[in-house]
Structure 1
Amino acid sequence: MAKLLDAVLHTDGILTRMCEAMEQASQHAEYFRLAAELEALASSICEYAPMIVPGLLQTPGYTRALIRASRPFAGEELIEKHVASRRERAQLLDGPEPPEVWFIVHELVLSTSVGDAAVMHAQLAHVVELIEQHRVVVQVIPMSEGAHPLMDGPFRVMSFNDAPPVAYTESAYSGQLLDSPALVASYTKTYDLGRAAALSPDASLAMIRAAMEDFAA
């Protein structure tokens, strides 16, 4: 069926590749599985994160502390499975043709201590390194901004070379992949408004460095 749809829609095999990827064992939660597979095929990813460092940017120490906080009774094997899953996702930034990845985060992400000070320092240092290597762009919405266009919650917009863009929204234990052109256009417009409300990339980098140094004290 996927092959037939690819032929009719002239999607250059993207649906077939998606089905093949989904057939492989996945360590992702069921509601995020398709979004994760699309993430690996995207040519660009624009994501807003209001509370925690986005998964693609997380260090193992940060992920470990985050999962442990939300699952205090989980065994170490399950924790490490989540850590490995996020590290696997982050490898797309190291590929020969990585997607263009743009993040907007709220200042709360920089000041909320996940793990101890050493974990946060290493996490923010990792973000700084990715920015300085021109592998990602990060903008920060400062606390002083008050109300801003992205206050409805986290989301991402993924674009592809051979398929229409999609949006993805997520809550604690569920996620929704949206492909309606009108909805995706609305999320894209909201993200553009968020870029205008956020600090510039250079000013954002300076704020991230300052937060990193605060955790080194």
Structure 2
Amino acid sequence: MEHGRRQRTPRPSRIPRTPREKYGEELRLRRTAAELTQEALGEQVVCSPTLISHYEAGRRLPSPDDARRIDRALGTDGFFARWLEDLETKYADHFAAVAELEQQACLIQQFALSIVPGLLQTDDYARAIFRSYRPNHRPEELDRAVVIRTERARILEGLSKPVMWTLLDEAVLRRQVGGPRTMADQLHKIADMAEAGRLRLHVLPFGSGAHALMESLLTLMDFEDSAPIAYVEGLFTGRLMDEPALVSASQTAYALALSDALSQQESLALVRAAAEEHEHGQQ
């Protein structure tokens, strides 16, 4: 080695970018070339700067309308709208962005009103859910849906991230989905995860009466490098919110409902008791 010259340390190879990340990077480059801030582009697209940052990070994809507005703002002649058509997803349109965000969240706080959250479902429980609203289903379709849901849940296989809080209405424990055995196994799985420290579990008992989340399920997500989001869902539809006022209101509603819930130990005892009742056919 020549005197005075330092030997370079090889750089670690970068993890390959996903198609969404490539889309977002190109958007950032085109925006920068157009000398627009995220705020300025957001004004032209009619969305928040936070949403533009999620697009550029590859966490979310714009809607077709937003992609067309991006093309108009940047003068890209339909480039982003056409590319968007190639970024297909295996999830329903209203849920695709949520599934992507789950992979990057450092904290997920979820509330379930009537069914077990998808990330916690057993295969048999998920299959029963899918079967309930697909009257002309084929076995292979159900198998594929269950596999997709199982793949989502792999984010919980790590020991630390994301930190998971799960708040359940007591109705989730009482409605028998898939039969007594399936329901008992499902509840035992949730309790096992809580006892293992993989999630924080609380139940809102019927006795607590009205509570702040009784009209909708809710998922809150925090990230290490961007603003938090909130997601609510109804029949065949969902809304992902990043507006600070709505996210803050959702966080407050979650905190209020959590304050009416049982402690973790009391919740665990109730979940185990409900599992035993399903096992023995007591309703």
Aligned counterpart in structure 2 of residue 2 of structure 1, from 5, 17, 24: 24
Amino acid at match of 1:60: D
1:107 matched to 2:129? The reply is no
Aligned counterpart in structure 1 of residue 142 of structure 2, from 50, 72, 79: 79
Amino acid at match of 1:122: D
- Give the number of the structure with larger relative contact order, counting CA–CA contacts within 8 Å between residues 6 or more apart: 1
Residue 17 of structure 1, CA deviation: 3.5
Residue 185 of structure 1, CA deviation: 0.3
The answer as to whether partners of 2:159 and 2:198 remain within 8 angstroms in 1 is no
Amino acid at match of 2:235: A
- Specify the alignment match of 2:187 in structure 1: 124
* Separation in 1, partners of 2:57, 2:232: 24
* Separation in 2, partners of 1:59, 1:98: 20
- Specify the alignment match of 2:57 in structure 1: 16
Residue 19 of structure 1, CA deviation: 6.0
- Specify the alignment match of 2:263 in structure 1: 200
1:24–1:89 Cα change, 3 Å: farther
Residue 2 of structure 1, CA deviation: 2.6
**Unaligned stretches of 5+ residues in structure 1:** none
Residue 90 of structure 1, CA deviation: 0.7
1:167–1:98 Cα change, 3 Å: same
The answer as to whether partners of 1:27 and 1:82 remain within 8 angstroms in 2 is no
Taking only the aligned residue pairs, the percentage that are identical comes to 36
User: Residues 128-160 of structure 1: CA distance to partner in whole angstroms, max 9, x if unpaired?
Assistant: 111111001111000111111111211111100
- Specify the alignment match of 2:12 in structure 1: none
Secondary structure of 1:30's counterpart equals coil
The answer as to whether partners of 1:35 and 1:177 remain within 8 angstroms in 2 is yes
Secondary structure of 2:221's counterpart equals strand
Residue 103 of structure 1, CA deviation: 1.1
Q: What pairs with 1:46-195 in structure 2 (closer than 5 Å)?
A: 46-195=109-258
Secondary structure of 1:177's counterpart equals strand
Residue 26 of structure 1, CA deviation: 3.0
Higher helix content, 1 or 2: 1
Amino acid at match of 2:236: Y
- After alignment, is 197-206 or 70-79 more displaced? 70-79
* Separation in 2, partners of 1:170, 1:134: 27
Residue 211 of structure 1, CA deviation: 0.5
Residue 97 of structure 1, CA deviation: 4.0
* Separation in 2, partners of 1:165, 1:175: 17
Residue 16 of structure 1, CA deviation: 3.3
* Separation in 2, partners of 1:19, 1:148: 31
The answer as to whether partners of 1:27 and 1:81 remain within 8 angstroms in 2 is no
Amino acid at match of 1:63: A
* Separation in 1, partners of 2:87, 2:192: 32
TM-score by length of 2: 0.71
User: Residues 40-81 of structure 1: CA distance to partner in whole angstroms, max 9, x if unpaired?
Assistant: 100001111110000011000000011111112111122112
Aligned residue pairs, count: 215
RMSD value over aligned CA atoms? 2.3
* Separation in 1, partners of 2:215, 2:60: 32
The answer as to whether partners of 1:45 and 1:102 remain within 8 angstroms in 2 is yes
